[in-house]
Structure 1
Amino acid sequence: MKNGIRGVLAAAGMVAALGAQAETLKLGVVGGMTGPGAPWGLAIDGGVKIAVDEINQAGGLAVGDKKYTVEVLTYDDHYKAADAVTATNRLIDQDEVNYIIGPIGSASVMAMKPITERNKVIMLSNSYSTEVLDANTKYMFRVLPTQYEYNRQLIGWLKQERPELKRLAILSPNDATGWSTQKIQTAAYKDAGYDVAETKFFERSQNDFRTLLTSILAKNVDFIELDTVPPGPAGIVIRQAREMGFKGQFTKFGGNNVAETVKSAGADNAQGTLVYLSADPSSEPYQKLSQSYAKIHSNSMDDFVFYFYDATHLLFKAIQEAGTVDDTDAVRARIEANNSFDGIQGAIVWGGKDVYGVNHQIATPAYLGVIEGGKAKVINKFDAR
């Protein structure tokens, strides 16, 4: 009889163990994994997967009395709103996810947001469009600082340290991202006393910029601001402008992947370009994430990995504090309750209510870099504020 009882208990234990192993938390990732914006989309995927691997290697995510193995489901939106909507509906209706991380493109985010808000799905995303956040936003959090948060600091440095630069042109993508960022850039430069001589838009599929550059160079500008031009095309612009005889300054105070830009421009052409950086390439955290990223993707790591790595750990912390993976209202409340979070490279601060009507905008350290010898070198740091 005792053996029988032991057998029943052993069987029950095996069932319980199997049940514990079956607990899975699914995270959805949406972003442009192919095409010109791929370095940014792959950065989302890489940052999430590095954080998830750390949790899984440690035995899973402890939530209440359960342990969850975290699974990542990644969909390519090709930087297009329609594909982002398809991915979102699939993640919610078929994959039954409660949490989506990404995308980056404004058009995709704005198309996804009504769906995620209606379904109470938390979206940790980015968009440089000022229209993405408003007082009615509940479940979306912007986990990257936008140009509105850091641009005036970068332009302030430029004004003080490079007084010879007075007249510029701004080049931006012809979509919701570019329309918003160019507006912000133009206002910031004009407010700082610069002469914005030309503003141009280009199609994301474009790889010949000579016609646009002919118009820009005819305005005798001292420098060209590359705004949110994707890294590869930004390099092409730099190379073609140099081939056309432009000897002035390039600035890129939108998203960057210096390695991809240099690959397209050539190291000599890119020399001296001033860039916004999300992280210090010489830092220990950068080296750590680079090594982990190389195990996931073969391209050069984009700095945006930092944001989505931190965002994933921030989400895990909120889920643990809420004690649930299903009640997204409880998880949302925990994210909102944590005014600051210790990120991999310093304090992360939530804010934005004065500007957007809701404290769902993140602020992190920002860096100003210069391309030297084909690599980025930090020349200034701006703390989160």
Structure 2
Amino acid sequence: MTTRTARGSAFHPPAPLTRRAILAGTAAAAVAGHAGSALAQETLKIGVLGTITGPGATWGLGIDGGARIAADEVNARGGLKVGGKAYKVEIVSYDDQYRAAAAVTAINRLIGPDGVRFVLGPIGSASLLAIKPITEREKVLLFTASWSAEVLKDSRYIFRVGPTTQEFAPATVAWLKQNRPQVKRVATLSANDETGWNSQRIQKAAYAAGGLEIVAAEHFERQQNDFRALLTKLLAARPDSIELDTTPPPTAGLVVRQAREQGFKGGFTKFGGFDVAELVRTAGADNAEGVIGILLGDPASAEWAKLQQAYARHHSNAMGDFVVPFYDSARLLFHAIEASGTVTDSDKVVAALEKSAPFRGAVGELTWGGKAAYGVDHQIYGPVFLTEIVKGKGNVIGKVALV
């Protein structure tokens, strides 16, 4: 497992840390003394585990960026105030490459040598489900964006930072039916893994419940970049629209471009993991025109502009919407740590988190939910923004509140 600080663009991975830096980071304790402040100041390490490189890099860099922005803010006001001490927050990032084995290696490193008790990420369901037995046993808190229905079941220390297909699919399908009445026949395309299987199942049910016909449903491999044969099968079913589901944004752009090259004139929706800049980059602005998806923030808002400016201090790629929920989640975590009065007792921090809602987030009020579906109210509920690509830019065309 390569240790990375996730500096640099999503598609030009940063150089590995030097041997000196790796040894220094490994040797550092999770809580190390510092002198010279009014309160005794120490360092609290917060882990980031995400897909920093590859097609899903915009998501992993979003986790890292959101965490670093929140850490910058809390450090600027003197650090976390806990038990008569001020803790400077340090972010420690690892790349799981969207692979379960790499995630296991990374979480063992975070819990072991790094001494981390709180982790933001991962994204992939395979990664999350692989590390879940470890983190639950060790009482390590995870703030994940993984969409599998199994994520929150039988868990005490996992919180999901944003809505999944389970929460928003009925609303997005209803919007599509009302606002795009020409769409009657839909084909779906999803990744061939736990995330894709679960999300496609929910999408298909939502489309069917909304009165739209699913005429084809296919899966692809995460590293795939040639979709012509697969698209030949999809297009033979004569869909009016193709649902791109949880396909990583750069990959989704390739699908859009190759479908257009094969003569597809219909629409595209991507109700999951939307990123305008990356989709346009690989599809081309003309091909991406009219693609509709959902974002977890409004690119035209003052809050987005503020986060974008702060994000640019850490990464050079265009900011994606994953920054928003992970920024808010880091702030929630910091609030709970201070309220619980501990940086080591996970159960007290969990209890403080559960009492923290409603919480004012970057895009509005955040609340906890999910018990009916998952058995525990560890699912953050907040608004999502329906967004259409127009002339290469994301244009918000609606807002859906999830309660």
TM-score, length of structure 2 as denominator length? 0.90
% same residue: 55
Deviations 1:117-153 (A, max 9, x none): 000111111211111111x210011111111111111
Structure 2 partner of 1:349: 367
Residue 76 (structure 2) pairs with residue 57 (structure 1): yes
Q: Distance in 2 between matches of 1:36 and 1:119?
A: 31
Residue 165 (structure 2) pairs with residue 166 (structure 1): no
Residue 125 (structure 2) pairs with residue 123 (structure 1): no
Structure 2 partner of 1:8: none
Q: Which amino acid aligns with 1:124?
A: F
Report the alpha carbon displacement of residue 64 of structure 1 after superposing the two structures with TM: 2.8
Q: Distance in 1 between matches of 2:365 and 2:323?
A: 16
Within-5 A mapping of 1:236-275:
236-275=254-293
User: Quick check: 1:339–1:349 contact (8 Å CA) kept in 2?
Assistant: yes
Q: In the superposition, relative to structure 1, how do residues 199 and 16 fare at CA in structure 2: closer, same or farther (>3 Å)? A: closer
Structure 2 partner of 1:218: 236
Within-5 A mapping of 1:148-167:
148-167=166-185
Report the alpha carbon displacement of residue 339 of structure 1 after superposing the two structures with TM: 3.0
Structure 2 partner of 1:381: 399
Q: Which amino acid aligns with 1:97?
A: V
The number of residues matched between the two structures is 371
The 3-state SS of whatever aligns with 1:299 is coil
Residue 120 (structure 2) pairs with residue 113 (structure 1): no
Structure 1 partner of 2:341: 323
Report the alpha carbon displacement of residue 338 of structure 1 after superposing the two structures with TM: 2.1
TM-score, length of structure 1 as denominator length? 0.94
Report the alpha carbon displacement of residue 384 of structure 1 after superposing the two structures with TM: 3.4
Q: Which amino acid aligns with 2:49?
A: V
Q: In the superposition, relative to structure 1, how do residues 121 and 243 fare at CA in structure 2: closer, same or farther (>3 Å)? A: same
Q: Which amino acid aligns with 1:198?
A: A
Q: Distance in 1 between matches of 2:35 and 2:311?
A: 35
Report the alpha carbon displacement of residue 309 of structure 1 after superposing the two structures with TM: 0.1
Deviations 1:172-195 (A, max 9, x none): 011111011111111111111111
- List alignment gaps of at least 5 residues for structure 2: 1-32
Deviations 1:338-378 (A, max 9, x none): 23211011100101011111001111111101100001100
Residue 215 (structure 2) pairs with residue 202 (structure 1): no
Deviations 1:234-285 (A, max 9, x none): 0000001001100000000010111000000000000011111111110000
Residue 51 (structure 2) pairs with residue 37 (structure 1): no
User: Quick check: 1:109–1:126 contact (8 Å CA) kept in 2?
Assistant: no
Q: Which moved more, 1:44-53 or 1:291-300?
A: 291-300
User: Quick check: 1:347–1:384 contact (8 Å CA) kept in 2?
Assistant: no
The 3-state SS of whatever aligns with 1:330 is helix
Structure 1 partner of 2:113: 94
User: Quick check: 2:46–2:91 contact (8 Å CA) kept in 1?
Assistant: yes
Q: Which amino acid aligns with 2:123?
A: I
Q: Distance in 2 between matches of 1:383 and 1:241?
A: 32
**Runs of 4+ with deviation above 2 angstroms:** 14-22
The 3-state SS of whatever aligns with 1:196 is strand
User: Quick check: 1:349–1:384 contact (8 Å CA) kept in 2?
Assistant: no
Q: Distance in 2 between matches of 1:61 and 1:334?
A: 15
Deviations 1:72-115 (A, max 9, x none): 11000001010001000010011111101101111111111111
Out of 304, 319, 326, the residue aligned to residue 308 of structure 1 is: 326
Residue 399 (structure 2) pairs with residue 369 (structure 1): no
User: Quick check: 1:124–1:142 contact (8 Å CA) kept in 2?
Assistant: yes
Report the alpha carbon displacement of residue 306 of structure 1 after superposing the two structures with TM: 0.2
User: Quick check: 2:41–2:86 contact (8 Å CA) kept in 1?
Assistant: no
Residue 86 (structure 2) pairs with residue 67 (structure 1): yes
Residue 109 (structure 2) pairs with residue 76 (structure 1): no
Within-5 A mapping of 1:285-296:
285-296=303-314
Report the alpha carbon displacement of residue 22 of structure 1 after superposing the two structures with TM: 5.1
Q: CA RMSD in A?
A: 1.4
Residue 72 (structure 2) pairs with residue 47 (structure 1): no
Report the alpha carbon displacement of residue 301 of structure 1 after superposing the two structures with TM: 0.7
Structure 2 partner of 1:182: 200
Out of 139, 142, 146, the residue aligned to residue 157 of structure 2 is: 139
Q: Distance in 1 between matches of 2:226 and 2:41?
A: 52
User: Quick check: 2:256–2:288 contact (8 Å CA) kept in 1?
Assistant: yes
Report the alpha carbon displacement of residue 15 of structure 1 after superposing the two structures with TM: 9.1
Out of 359, 373, 377, the residue aligned to residue 359 of structure 1 is: 377
Deviations 1:13-69 (A, max 9, x none): x99648956511110100000011000000000000000011111111111311000
The 3-state SS of whatever aligns with 1:264 is helix
Q: Which amino acid aligns with 2:93?
A: T
Q: Distance in 2 between matches of 1:274 and 1:19?
A: 52
The 3-state SS of whatever aligns with 1:94 is coil
Deviations 1:285-322 (A, max 9, x none): 00011111111111111101000000000000000100
